[in-house]
Structure 1
Amino acid sequence: MTGGDTSSPPGDRELLDRHVAGDPHAFGEIVRRHRDRLWAVALRVLGDREEAADAVQDALVSAYRAAHTFRGQSAVTTWLHRITVNACLDRARKAASRRTSSIAEPERLEQLLEPHESAAVPAERRDLHRQLIAALSELPPEQRAALVLVDMQGYPVAEAARILGVAVGTVKSRCARGRARLLPLVAHLRSDEPQGDTPPSAGGRNRTQGAPVPPARGKPDTRVVKGGGEHA
């Protein structure tokens, strides 16, 4: 083999090690690789674009500062998702304690539609999407997070358990309870759909990641950590 650089790009763990060692660019590459997927999870767990963006920012700042605590017991992406979900759950619990009415207002739910969906899909599908997200917002945060990871993002139950930091059985239980609570809320959607055999899941396996996260207003290491887990 002649000419050219045939070396493969560094893996996430190598980039994290470089960051800990002082490489000023390594963590930015990790963010570039994973931020959109973290954003998709945060958006569906929280149901609010601003809250989701803040949760992702908080999580990335936490990960930036806690990188030296990463011990490699899970993949870097699992570790990042765990920090992000923890940040989301913290915000969801605080919002639930303040909330006096449903967050599922049409204007806010419309923002959850990906730009290409909002512009291109039929109005009926957009309406179903809004109603589905409204129903999902009624679930407790822990059940919502489990359903988002398993049913909407397509994670295997075992991987979702690692992200959430709970047992596999707990994820299965949360999904089962969440689906049971979701069923009466979306039953009317099933009766309206032409395909009557479509399961009433929270979005289906292997769903697309959704809209990219808005550009950050600052670098990950320039904002104060407001929440999110920092444990590997």
Structure 2
Amino acid sequence: MDPNGIRPRLSRVVETLSETRQSNEQLAAEAAREGSDGPAFTELASRFRDRVWRVCFQIMGHADDAADAAQDVLVRMFLQRANFEGRSKYSTWVHGIAVRTCLSLRRARSRRNKRVAVLPGLDLDATEIPSHAADSPQSDGIPLEEMLNTLGDEDRAILVMKYSQDHSYQELSQIFGLSESACKMRVSRAVGRLRARHSG
């Protein structure tokens, strides 16, 4: 029994809170009109900070590089906030920024590593992987991270977006600026390369 009617009142409170919580797309529209200290973008940054870091870690492969990339992504989210037109989900738009940022940083890191490769014993990538990111599935005893490192940057990024972030091919086309058929072909070829290199 609930003589005081507490449960119905709690249900109404929960429903009210759910109705007042703005969607990412609604916040993005408000953020586009705000100044640098507006509450809408602050809320978006809070919602996406951890997700952006995870995406960056999966593409970059190293914690320090992921932290740098995630910070760049948040800055670009703010600077480009007026560019979101609502043609996709806001999360898809953010992931597009993350992919482009990470690919740019990976290319820069590759050039940097080639320049210092003549120094014996220097490993710029010897960073510790956080415990919450270390539980990667394995195939034939080979860590997934090691498998992904055998792919090119674009192949690695599209597999992360497809199989880790569970994006549809339509969303992949928005993230990578390719047609859906081109995304399907790129995913298929990347998976084929992994199978060729790591199958028994």
Please give the TM-score of this superposition, normalised by the length of structure 2: 0.75
Determine which structure has more spread, i.e. the larger CA radius of gyration: 2
| 1:111 match | 129
| 1:142 match | 154
Count of residue pairs the alignment pairs up: 179
Are residues 1:50 and 2:68 paired?
A: no
Task: For 2:132, give the aligned amino acid.
Answer: E
| 2:40 match | 26
Instruction: Answer yes or no: is the 8 Å Cα contact 1:15–1:27 preserved in 2.
Output: yes
Specify the SS of the correspondent of 1:114. helix
Cα distance change of structure 1 residues 113 and 142 upon mapping to structure 2, 3 Å threshold: farther
| 1:160 match | 172
Cα deviation, 1:175-199, whole Å, max 9, x if unaligned, reads 12211221233225xxxxxxxxxxx
Are residues 1:99 and 2:113 paired?
A: yes
Cα distance change of structure 1 residues 182 and 125 upon mapping to structure 2, 3 Å threshold: closer
Specify the SS of the correspondent of 2:80. helix
The structural deviation recorded for 1:166 is 1.4
Cα deviation, 1:188-231, whole Å, max 9, x if unaligned, reads 5xxxxxxxxxxxxxxxxxxxxxxxxxxxxxxxxxxxxxxxxxxx
Specify the SS of the correspondent of 1:73. coil
Q: 1:9 aligns with which of 6, 21, 24?
A: 21
Cα distance change of structure 1 residues 79 and 115 upon mapping to structure 2, 3 Å threshold: closer
Q: How does 1:1-232 map to 2 (within 5 A)?
A: 6=16, 7-22=19-34, 24-100=38-114, 108=127, 111=129, 114=132, 117=135, 128=141, 131-188=143-200
Task: For 1:146, give the aligned amino acid.
Answer: I
5+ long unaligned stretches in structure 2:
1-7, 118-122
2-side partners of 1:56 and 1:127: how far apart? 32
Cα distance change of structure 1 residues 137 and 69 upon mapping to structure 2, 3 Å threshold: same
Instruction: Answer yes or no: is the 8 Å Cα contact 1:135–1:182 preserved in 2.
Output: yes
1-side partners of 2:192 and 2:169: how far apart? 17
Cα distance change of structure 1 residues 127 and 113 upon mapping to structure 2, 3 Å threshold: farther
Instruction: Answer yes or no: is the 8 Å Cα contact 1:132–1:186 preserved in 2.
Output: no
The structural deviation recorded for 1:106 is 9.7
Task: For 2:39, give the aligned amino acid.
Answer: H
5+ long unaligned stretches in structure 1:
119-123, 189-232
Cα deviation, 1:85-142, whole Å, max 9, x if unaligned, reads 10001011222233347xx99954x616526849xxxxx969946x321121121111
Specify the SS of the correspondent of 1:139. coil
The structural deviation recorded for 1:69 is 2.2
Root-mean-square deviation (CA), in Å? Answer: 3.2
* Aligned-residue identity in percent: 30
Cα distance change of structure 1 residues 170 and 95 upon mapping to structure 2, 3 Å threshold: farther
The structural deviation recorded for 1:153 is 2.3
Cα distance change of structure 1 residues 168 and 9 upon mapping to structure 2, 3 Å threshold: same
Task: For 1:67, give the aligned amino acid.
Answer: R
